[in-house]
Amino acid sequence: MKTLHWIKKDVLLKNYNTFRINGKTKYFAKISSKDKLIKTLHWAKKNSLPIFILGNGSNILFSDKRYQGIVIKIENNKIKKINKKTIVVGAGMMLMELLQKFLNKGFEGLEWANGIPATVGGAVFCNAGGFGYDFGKFVKKVRTIDLTICKERIYSQKDCKFQYRGSIFKKKKEIIWEVELFIKKGDKAKIRGKTKNYWQYRIKKGLFKYSSAGSIFKNVFAKNVPLKHRKGASIKQGKISTGWFIEKCNLKGKKYGGAMISAFHANVIINIKNAKAKDVLHLINICKKKVYKRFKIKLKEEIIVIDY
């Protein structure tokens, strides 16, 4: 099969996911222009290949098996436009880079996101959040490209149907290409102070010392947990930390293969020594079973498990 010159064959995915799991893909392309994207989509269609869209791979568990299609890493990472009240950025821009630009220009509001290793597109797709904030609240519009017919679409914030760690894009076959975000001028010194504090908070938690995908499961809505099962749990924004339930099942520090339920946060699984996806999946299943047995709660994955 004739490939386009920017498409690589048989690529290891270890450096493209924060878990550092060594999956493999038959084809791989880093794409920063719309022209190359459209050509790649046509090529994949012509060759009947499945497509997986990748941001920074910080919420993903790749399978140990070889992906038989093409992984397209979105690297459209420039500021496109700054209007009076909004900024338009490429979906491949890293959130940390965006925060730095916000800091330089004195735009406030996104300080809480400091430390999230996401692209803007991934943050929209997953509606990344923390400390009571959601990325979706800052989104004015999203411009996408349909994977199958290459048609462009524009979504308003309402159309995106943002919810706790979710958006309409989880049900679509579309590439988030550009995102228009609300901006608001603030006090530079205050923005810098807040940004630093959030960073230090995340560092203290120990999350960056190991390879992981952040939280494995979504937190649990307190209203869904019988009173007797949530005694002693702290409730924030109506939710209980899933780590609390896993910890109560004495699973902190549990190892399987090269993976371990971290000792610093029970809702984080870390890669301690060449972990395979199957090791992580095994620990995920143990958490689910034990938490269900003790609390009758069905845990739901926050990470996206790619099984092919």
| Closest to 75 measured CA to CA, from 90, 63, 65, 86 | 90
Q: Which one among 116, 139, 160, 246 touches ligand FAD, defined by CB under 6 A? A: 116
- In angstroms, the CA 8 to CA 156 distance is 35
Long-range Cβ contacts of 3-11 (<8 Å, 24+ apart) = 3/27, 3/43, 4/29, 4/36, 4/39, 4/40, 4/43, 6/30, 6/31, 6/36, 6/40, 7/40, 7/43, 7/70, 11/71
Burial (CB < 10 A; 0-12, 13-18, 19+), residue 132, is exposed
The site for ligand FAD, by CB under 6 A, has a size of 32
Name the residue nearer to ligand FAD (CB basis): 270 or 295: 270
Residues 10-49 within binding reach of ligand FAD (CB under 6 A): 18
Q: Is 54 in the site for ligand FAD (CB under 6 A)?
A: yes
Name the residue nearer to ligand FAD (CB basis): 171 or 223: 171
Q: Is 125 in the site for ligand FAD (CB under 6 A)?
A: yes
Q: Is 270 in the site for ligand FAD (CB under 6 A)?
A: no
Q: Is 55 in the site for ligand FAD (CB under 6 A)?
A: yes
Assigned token pair, 64: 């140990």
| Closest to 25 measured CA to CA, from 13, 16, 36 | 13
- C-alpha distances out from residue 19 to 130, 260, 302, Å: 20, 12, 14
- In angstroms, the CA 92 to CA 55 distance is 7
Q: State the minimum distance, in angstroms, from the CB of residue 162 to ligand FAD.
A: 12
Q: Which one among 91, 99, 160, 260 touches ligand FAD, defined by CB under 6 A? A: 91
Is residue 165 annotated as part of the catalytic site, yes or no? Answer: yes
Q: Is 90 in the site for ligand FAD (CB under 6 A)?
A: no
Q: State the minimum distance, in angstroms, from the CB of residue 146 to ligand FAD.
A: 11
Q: Which one among 21, 51, 87, 118 touches ligand FAD, defined by CB under 6 A? A: 118
Instruction: Identify which range of 125-133, 221-229, 230-238, 240-248 contacts ligand FAD by CB under 6 A.
Output: 125-133
Alpha carbon 9 to chain centroid, angstroms: 25
Q: Is 128 in the site for ligand FAD (CB under 6 A)?
A: yes
Q: Which of 20, 63, 75, 165 is catalytic?
A: 165
| Closest to 175 measured CA to CA, from 218, 119, 222 | 119
Residues 154-183 within binding reach of ligand FAD (CB under 6 A): 169, 175-176
Q: Is 304 in the site for ligand FAD (CB under 6 A)?
A: yes
| Residue whose structure tokens are 């807040």 | 194
- Is 102 in contact with 89 (CB distance < 8 Å)? no
Q: Is 243 in the site for ligand FAD (CB under 6 A)?
A: no
Q: Is 269 in the site for ligand FAD (CB under 6 A)?
A: no
Catalytic residue ranges? 165, 215, 302
Task: Kindly list the residues in this chain that would bind ligand FAD in the complex (CB under 6 A).
Answer: 18, 53-60, 74, 91, 116-119, 121-123, 125-126, 128-130, 169, 175-176, 207-208, 212-214, 304
